[in-house]
Each structure stands twice: as C-alpha cells, then as structure tokens.
Amino acid sequence: MSWLKKIDQALQKRRYQGLYRTRFVNQTGTGRWLQINDRRYLNFSSNDYLGLSQNKEVIKAWQKGAEQYGVVSGGSGHITGYTKPHAVFEETLSDWLGYPRALLFTSGYSANQALLAALLEPGDRVLADRLSHASLLEGMLYSATRFFRFEHNQIDSLQKHLKKPCSGETLVITEGLFSMDGDSASLGLLHQHSSAAGALLLVDDAHGIGVKGVEGRGSCWQEGVKPELLVVTFGKAFGLSGAAILCSEDLAQYFLQFSRHLIYSTAMPPAQAYALSVALKCVREGNHLRQQLQANIVRFRQGMQGFRNLLSTCSDSAIQPIFFKHRPSIQEVALKLRDYGLWVPAIRPPTVPKGTERLRITITAAQEFDDIDRLLEGVHLVLL
C-alpha cells in the first residue's frame, strides 16, 4: 500500500466515524468572549482559570521582557538560551513550592515526555492511573520499560501491581486534578503506598496549580503531599504557557545531563520567563480570583441540579464534564449550543474512551453570573 493510499484511508475512516477534527481561527485570543468567523461566543472551553491571560500586569511584563531580552532565547539552555529571567523564575517557583530545584520546559507535554525519556531504563516499571494525560501515556509507550495502568483512583488496583516483583525501579504516575473528569487523585494514599514500595511518585498538576491550595500552590500542597517529581504547567491558571519539573537537586542534575529535550530544544523566550515571574505574583495574590472561580462553579452546579436528562460528575473543580443519558451526538449538541452563542467543546474518542463522550465545560474567574445563567439556559433549550 502506498503512503498516500494509507493516509487517505485513515482520513476517510476518521470522517466515517464522526471523529474528524477541525480547527477554527480564534480572532480574539482566550478570554470571556471568543470571536470565530466574525461571530462572538461566550467562552466555556478555556483553561485560563483565573483570567490571567488578559491581566495587564502580565501583558506589560512580557512587553518589558521583550524590550530587554528580545523575543527569542536564541538557543538551548545549555548554549545561550538560559538567561537571568529563567534563573530567577526557576528559583522563585522552587522556593514557593518547597523543592530544591525547578527546571523549565516549553510545554507540559514536553516536560512529561522529557522526564520519562530521561529517567526510565529497560527493566524499570511504570504504574499509571488509567486516566493520566496523553503525554504521559505516549511517553510510556515509547519508552523501553514495562507499563501498566491501574484503575482510575483505585488504590487497591495500584497495590496489586506494586506487590508484583520488578527487576528495576518503579515509577507511579497520576494527575493531581484530572483534565477530562475534573476529579482529584487520592494523593495521600498514592504517596503512602508508593513510598512503602520504594517507588517514585510523579504528579502532573497542570490543572491544580494556581487554583488549589494556599496561594494556589496546587493539589499536592493542599493534600500535604510532596511527591518526588511534580510537573506544573503555565498554560492554565498562570495564563501563559510552558511548564516546569520540580524535584531534588540530584534529579535536576540528572535531567540537565541526560534530558535530550533540555539539551537540544530552544529554551522558552526570556520575555516569557520574565512574564511568568509576574504571573506567579498574581497567582499568589489572587485569592479573590479563586473565590470568584469557586462562586461561579457553585452557581453552575446548583443550576445543573434540575436537569434530568444529564449526568454530571461530582467535580468541584473548574472542569465540569456533562454526559447525556440518551447519548445523542455530542458534536450536534455542541453545534446547537454554538447557535445559541456558547462555545462548549465536544470531547470524543480517542481523547476519552468510547462510550464516555461528553461536553467539557470549563468555568473561569473571568465569567460573570449572567454568563453562567446563559449557559444553563442554552443547555435547557438544547434538551427541549
């Protein structure tokens, strides 16, 4: 079979399954409103949980950083790309979260892949929560290790795997706050059983950092847990982009020596690192934003109680997945909401398992109560 024929068949199959993905040009950037194809929509799809992407201090900081350092790092952090703004932010971040070191990456996907690629060796074993992010699962697939997925948030399932012998080392993986279901991991028990088995615990807290815990320090801080490896990202509550691995000094030095992502990738722009320091200040001082976010979540969940044809999780987070009892086409539901001026994403396989298609509604501090009420009204009209 030729490459072109193989590609054509794969695309046709994706269309036939109703899973074909389409990108849209967002004319305004993220925020309370989106403008797509010259029409405005209330935005219920953004991970900008605290609304910091539109924060004037953060925007000015990026501009100031660009004026001082230019708009690109110009190389890997091992060559010329590691600048004073990078060093300052890494130190401030590690102090804030109580770790000896922080290492910056251009994205959470990159951080997870880099960590797994550098750390795992043949004979090692990975035990990951079944609903861990695609970047983690893909990293395991491409590693030379054995990996197993324990049942979502089921400690008994993890324990069964931990009791089995392993010739190498064991790494346990979970998200702090799960990106599709909006529920939290049992971090205390996970850390307890991982430590007892001599395993390292990796927590990807992309959706918890900035939102949960004192000063927004995240899921682990809130639960009084300090995993050996913590990944935080800045494309959600920080309102920017990039990520960091928090770890011990020895692990940091190991990654600096052996992580190909760090050695061979261009570092994030200094201006971005400069802006991240200001965003961190806003996160730490943003208790009023977290309170507004929580108030919006409560208003939405209270409004959802009257819907009989819907199933929603017990999530108290900004991520509110909605399932339909009679399983209509999720894409059609999303399109009907779009007609009502609401931008709500339909999440379909392979992002989520077959049979768990859902609307993934995200609540942010930038939204107003009237926005939440319009969303509830729209969902009601779709069900008529």
Q: Is the previous residue joined to 350 through a cis bond, with omega within 30 degrees of 0?
A: yes
Return the structure tokens found at 111: 């951080």
Alpha helices in the chain (DSSP H): 3-16, 56-69, 84-97, 108-119, 134-141, 155-162, 187-196, 219-223, 249-258, 260-264, 270-284, 287-304, 330-339, 369-383
* Residues 35, 40, 42, 44, CA torsion sign: negative
Q: Are the C-beta atoms of 262 and 243 separated by less than 8 Å?
A: no
Q: How far apart are CA 76 and CA 164, in angstroms?
A: 41
CA atoms within 13 A on the CB side of 282: 24
Catalytic residue set? 47, 133, 175, 179, 204, 207, 236
Find, among 117, 135, 188, the residue nearest to 158 by Cα.
Answer: 188
Crossing angle for the helix pair 187-196 and 155-162, to the nearest 10 degrees: 10
AA identity, residue 337: L
Q: How far apart are CA 119 and CA 201, in angstroms?
A: 13
Return the structure tokens found at 339: 């007609």
Q: Are the C-beta atoms of 190 and 178 separated by less than 8 Å?
A: no
User: In this structure, what are the phi and psi dihedrals at residue 336, rounded to the nearest 5 degrees?
Assistant: -65, -40
Q: Are the C-beta atoms of 228 and 247 separated by less than 8 Å?
A: yes
Residues in the chain: 384
Q: How far apart are CA 30 and CA 252, in angstroms?
A: 33
Q: How far apart are CA 53 and CA 31, in angstroms?
A: 7
> Edge-to-edge strand order for the sheet containing 146-150?
101-105, 243-247, 229-233, 200-204, 170-175, 125-129, 146-150
